[in-house]
Structures are given as structure tokens and as C-alpha cells.
């Protein structure tokens, strides 16, 4: 790009330093300024915009919604959420909404993901099992916060029946109508669970523990969460 500071120097009055366009096209000063501004914006590193969006997400979404745990804010400030959505959706990666993925799944809204992680309260010695919602984002947030992390898809989550109880923390990244015994059986006694629930068509965040072999869940907040159809209650027919 030419040095704009030299425009008009050492030239007769009225002679422009801007290259003349074909067919004698002339640009007004306003049009030239607009071209310059667009060029500057387009040449700016894209990751600078994402970093600013990430900070705005933390300040205007997470903190104002009660997500203030330092470990949550730290992880969500460094994990690039835009890398877990389709290319065409990167510009909306930090908006307060769920994003549809190319595989038909959804990446949950930032506040919901932050609330889940905060309620899970992962510990360095935990062996955790994550039922992934389809994006891989929650797994990346959680990975350095626990001692060992196992990730399964919603489709594979029901094939856990042969495994012994060895999980301290179970996180289901989505809303479910029911939790199969084959999955909850893997929780150790007093093991913790964070999941979404579907009740009467509404989705809620819930937290619970395994006590005397049973899962007791406490609904925490009504939030919009992607529903995992693999955990739907089978429809019964009556005649």
C-alpha cells in the first residue's frame, strides 16, 4: 500500500497519488477512505478478533450469569471455541447461543458450558467420563482439570455395562430424558454427576451423586441445552 502521508507532495495541485483505474474511473475522497479502511480491517490478524470476542464472552456472559470459578474462566479464556464449529459459524462462536455442527449435533451456548464445568468442580485426582455432545469442546476444557479423562459419544454411552465402577465424575454434555443403568453403573459410590435433563419439554441443568447405588439429581436451573436423542424414553403404545 502506498504511504498515504505523501499524497499531494511534489505534485501539481489536483494530481492524485492514487493509481488511476481503468477506463478513467475516478474515486471520490470518501470512497478512497472506505477502501483504505476495508484494507486495514482485512489485513488485521483474525485471531485478534477472536481473542477480543473470548474476553467479551467471559465479561458479559459468564461473569454476569454467576460463572465466576477461576478454573472455568481460565480454561474458557484459552480454548479457542471457534475451532469447534463449522467454518461458516466461526463469526458467531462466542454469541450466547447453541451452534449447529456439520454432524447434526450442537455446541452448547457458552454460559451453559461454563455452568456445567463449574458445577462439575473437577479435581486433579478424578477419573472422569464425558459423554460428548458432538463438538469436542467440553473435552478440551475438562482435560487438564482431571487426572484421567475418558470420552465417549452419546451413541456409545449405552455400551458401558461390562465395565466396573471406576468413575469419580460423570458429565453428560447435553439434556437427556433418562440415564441408562449401563452408564450410571460406572460411577463409584459418592461419585458426582452433572447433566442436562428434559422434563415436560423443558431442559434443565442438574447435579447429583450416587448414594447407596442410586442416582439422586437436583435440578439447578432452566437453561437451553441440546437434547441427546439417544437417551430418550422409549415411547409406549396403548390400545
What interhelical angle do 70-78 and 110-120 show, nearest 10?
Answer: 140
For residue 145, tell me if it sits in a domain.
yes
As a whole number of angstroms, the distance between CA 140 and CA 97 comes to 19
As a whole number of angstroms, the distance between CA 26 and CA 32 comes to 10
Closest CA to 183 of 166, 203, 202: 166
Cα atoms in the Cβ-side hemisphere of radius 13 Å centred on 26: 5
Q: For residue 73, what are the domain limits?
A: 46-231
Residue 139's Cα: distance from chain center in Å? 10
As a whole number of angstroms, the distance between CA 139 and CA 28 comes to 53
For residue 86, tell me if it sits in a domain.
yes
pLDDT in tens, 12-29: 333 433 334 433 334 444
For residue 214, tell me if it sits in a domain.
yes
For residue 131, pLDDT beyond 80: yes
Helix (H) or strand (E) holding 128: strand 127-132
Q: CATH number for the domain including 211?
A: 3.40.50.150
For residue 32, tell me if it sits in a domain.
no
Residue 95 contacts residue 82 (beta carbons within 8 Å) = no
Q: Tell me the whole-structure pTM to 2 decimals.
A: 0.77
As a whole number of angstroms, the distance between CA 223 and CA 96 comes to 12
More confident residue, 58 or 31: 58
CB within 8 Å of 58: residues ≥ 6 apart? 73, 76, 77
For residue 25, tell me if it sits in a domain.
no
Alpha helices in 15-142 (DSSP H): 29-43, 46-57, 70-78, 110-120, 137-142
The least confident of 37-41, 93-97, 151-155 is 37-41
What does the block give as the cell for 186?
Answer: 460406572
Closest CA to 134 of 193, 84, 169, 185: 84
Residue 25 contacts residue 17 (beta carbons within 8 Å) = no
For residue 181, tell me if it sits in a domain.
yes
Cα of first residue to Cα of last residue in the chain, in angstroms, is: 77
User: How many structural domains is the chain composed of?
Assistant: 1
For residue 28, tell me if it sits in a domain.
no
For residue 18, tell me if it sits in a domain.
no
Confidence class for position 182, pLDDT limits 50, 70, 90? confident
pLDDT in tens, 190-236: 999 999 999 888 999 999 999 999 999 999 999 999 999 999 888 76
Amino acid at each position: 500500500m502506498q504511504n498515504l502521508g505523501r499524497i499531494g507532495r511534489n505534485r501539481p495541485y489536483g494530481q492524485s497519488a492514487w493509481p488511476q483505474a481503468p477506463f478513467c474511473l475516478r474515486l471520490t475522497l470518501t470512497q478512497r477512505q472506505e477502501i483504505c479502511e476495508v484494507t486495514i480491517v482485512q489485513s488485521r490478524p483474525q485471531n485478534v478478533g477472536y481473542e477480543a470476542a473470548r474476553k467479551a464472552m467471559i465479561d458479559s456472559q459468564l461473569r454476569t450469569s454467576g460463572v465466576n470459578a477461576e478454573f472455568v474462566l481460565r480454561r474458557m479464556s484459552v480454548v479457542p471455541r471457534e475451532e469447534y464449529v463449522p467454518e461458516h459459524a466461526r463469526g458467531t462462536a462466542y454469541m450466547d447461543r447453541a451452534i449447529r455442527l456439520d454432524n447434526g449435533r450442537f455446541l452448547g451456548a457458552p454460559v451453559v458450558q461454563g455452568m456445567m464445568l463449574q458445577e462439575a468442580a473437577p479435581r486433579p485426582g478424578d477419573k472422569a467420563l464425558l459423554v460428548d455432545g458432538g463438538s469436542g469442546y467440553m473435552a478440551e476444557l475438562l482435560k487438564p482439570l482431571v487426572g484421567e479423562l475418558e470420552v465417549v459419544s452419546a451413541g456409545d454411552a449405552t455400551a458401558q455395562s461390562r465395565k466396573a465402577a471406576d468413575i469419580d465424575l460423570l458429565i453428560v454434555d447435553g439434556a437427556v430424558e433418562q440415564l441408562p443403568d449401563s452408564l450410571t453403573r460406572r460411577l463409584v459410590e459418592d461419585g458426582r454427576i452433572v447433566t442436562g435433563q428434559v422434563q415436560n419439554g423443558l431442559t434443565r441443568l442438574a447435579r447429583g451423586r450416587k448414594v447407596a447405588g442410586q442416582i439422586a439429581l437436583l435440578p439447578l436451573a432452566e437453561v437451553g441445552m441440546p437434547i441427546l436423542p439417544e437417551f430418550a424414553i422409549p415411547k409406549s403404545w396403548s390400545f
